[in-house]
Every structure is written in C-alpha cells, then in structure tokens.
Structure 1
Amino acid sequence: MHTADATVRPTAPLTFRAATEADVAALVALIESAYRGDASRAGWTTEADILGGQRTDPEGVGAVVRDEGSRMTVVEQGGELIACCQLERRGDHAYFGMFAVRPELQGGGLGKVILGEAERFARTEWGVREMRMTVISAREELIAWYGRRGYARTGNMTPFPYGDERFGVPRRPGLEFEMLVKALG
C-alpha cells in the first residue's frame, strides 16, 4: 500500500492498494459511473455521447484482478473508493487502462496524482521504461490531457470492436483507438 497527498481533498491522504476479488463490484460501478450514462456527465471523462451500453463488466475487472501480470489499483480517500486504474506488464513496457475517477471529483488534479503514482509503480516495481495506453481517437480533450502529462500520439490506430457489446454500443461510425506512449526514464 502506498499513500500520497493530493490537492483535491487535502483533509485525507490518498491510499493506493492492489484490488482484491471483494472490490470487483465496486470497481465496475465506479468505472461505469465515470464513462457511461447521465451520472458520467458530472465529470469531463464521459463517453456517453459516443458510446452507450457498458464500459466493463465483473468478468473483465475480475480477470485483471486475478492476472499475475496485472495490477488493478484501488485509490481510496478516508476509506472510500474514489478512483482506480489498471496496469499490465507487457515485457519492456506497461499498459495503462481502466482509469476512472468518481465524476464529481474530476477536474481538481486527482487524475494527475493517480497517473503519476501508476507511472512510479510501473517504473520502480516492474522496472519498465515506457507506459502505453489506447484512447478513443475522437476524445481530443482526453488525448490533450494525456499530452500535457508527456504522452505522445503515435498514429497507431486499431478499430473499435463494433458488434462486441462488452465494450459498449457505438453511437456513431468511425470510432478507433489510438496508442499513446510515454518514456518513464
């Protein structure tokens, strides 16, 4: 477990820990609330205008929790789940995903702190020198946010899995994922 201070709610430090099976339902609810439906509109990371349906499910989150090459990180403040992210070791780099911050807490610097902790963990605990992620290319504001944190667009695109509702129901054609990368030094 690791603790860090954040400017978002200075009354209680953030606590980072590996998720367990007991966390899966709460993690699914958090991820869904950050990306889908009307509740997600309270934050700026919503995908509700481009995707309907689910963002993830208990099977997907549970698989990450159980995978020895992955770490699903739970972020708590005052004992309350407020954010999460996935790290997956892939040889010489780590993949970053399933990043969710409770919508009403977005926009205050919390995401920057969590991303920094994920990078620190990947670099110091796993010894990787690069972080990679995929972002829906239509999410220009989100890509710009990652760009301000040192992530570069690669132009490496993969198609959205149209027809596989485990990843959501597209509300428009032409969706694809772009790979973003950052050297961790």
Structure 2
Amino acid sequence: MDAVASPPLTFREAAEADVEALVALVESAYRGEASRAGWTTEADLLDGQRTDAAGVRAVITGADSRVLAAERAGELVACCQLERRPGPAGAVAYFGMFAVRPGLQGGGVGRQVLAEAERTAVERWGAREMQMTVITQRADLIAWYERRGYRRTGQRTPFPYGDRRFGLPRRPDLAFELLVKPLG
C-alpha cells in the first residue's frame, strides 16, 4: 500500500489574529510534557513559558520583523521570526521563535521552514547573513543547524536569569551561542 503524501506547506506572514495560535504552537514545541513528543523540547532545561502574547505581537507588528506561518491544509504547523538588523557588510536577518508542531518534528517541516526563512530574508531585505542564538546545551539542535550550513561563532551571551518571560531555568549554566550562515 502506498503512503499518502502530506499536503504541501504553504507560507504566509502572520497577523495579529494569529497571536494566540502562535503562542500555543511555540509553547507546545518547547515546554512541558507535550513538547516531549518532538525532539526540540527544552523541558529538561527550562520550566515556565517560552513566549507570551505581548512578545509575539511585538514581533508581528515590528517595523523590521516578521513571523512566517507555515500551514498544511490551512492548519498552523510551524512558524519562525525574521528580524532585519544592520551588519558591517549589509543587511543581516535574525532567525528566532522557530517552532514545529511536536508530532511533525523529524519529518522535514523544519528544514522547509528554515529554507523559506532564508529565501524570504534575501528576497525581502537583501540579507547577506542569517544569525540566530541557540542554548549552548542543545548540542543536537546545534548539530542540526550545522548540517544546514550554520557555523558556531563561539560568541556567547548569558541566559537572562531572573526574567520569567524567558522561562525558569532548571540549571545554573545556561547561555546562548551565536550561529551564522552566509546567504545569497
């Protein structure tokens, strides 16, 4: 018996009406027991929230930021944030708030979203580089990005301990590392 192909992903810019659905998607991919159905969970590193409605709304309405919503058959299945930033050699795009529904992780959806984000950053802003920060303890996730052309810079920033908007750390040594990839 032949497997039924999944409907293709479609992409659009998220709107303010999507805020609650985006918050729910991001939370499901990273926090709590539901996130353990996928491989991107941070449940062993952090408790509490990953994002909130105010933060997502600010990204959607920001002059230099966008949220790409990925849908399959009209249903939100993934998202990511793109933010235009100045760089020494031209426009840089920051990639964040990346989430794929836990049950779909490992099936190529994330790869498609990342590729669309890179294409969009080049087309919309002429971005010459994509940047992101990843928790240094997420070796599996960093390796996934490295297989897609990102490189570790060694540039680290501390985790914002004490700021509950970013979660409740379960360990004292969390930090972010900057990853970069040339575009275009």
TM over 0.5, shorter chain:
yes
Partners of 1:142 and 1:13 in 2: how far apart?
A: 24
Deviations 1:26-78 (A, max 9, x none): 00000000000000000000000000000000000000010020011111000
Query: Alpha-carbon deviation of 1:11?
Result: 3.4
Partners of 2:5 and 2:72 in 1: how far apart?
A: 10
For residue 44 of structure 1, the aligned residue among 34, 39, 55 is 39
Number of residues of Structure 1 aligned to a counterpart in Structure 2: 177
For residue 64 of structure 2, the aligned residue among 42, 65, 69 is 69
Q: Does 1:156 align with 2:155?
A: yes
With the length of structure 2 as denominator, give the TM-score of the two structures.
0.95
Partners of 2:33 and 2:19 in 1: how far apart?
A: 22
For residue 21 of structure 2, the aligned residue among 19, 22, 26 is 26
SS in 1 for 2:103: helix
Partners of 2:12 and 2:67 in 1: how far apart?
A: 8
Q: Which amino acid aligns with 2:132?
A: M
Moved more, 12-21 or 145-154: 12-21
Query: Alpha-carbon deviation of 1:109?
Result: 1.0
- 2:126 corresponds to: 127
Q: Which amino acid aligns with 1:132?
A: Q
Query: Alpha-carbon deviation of 1:125?
Result: 1.6
- 1:4 corresponds to: none
- 2:142 corresponds to: 143
Unpaired runs of 5+ residues, structure 2, are none
Partners of 1:127 and 1:104 in 2: how far apart?
A: 34
Query: Alpha-carbon deviation of 1:170?
Result: 0.2
**Structure 1 runs of 4+ off > 4 angstroms?**
none
Unpaired runs of 5+ residues, structure 1, are 1-8
Moved more, 13-22 or 48-57: 13-22
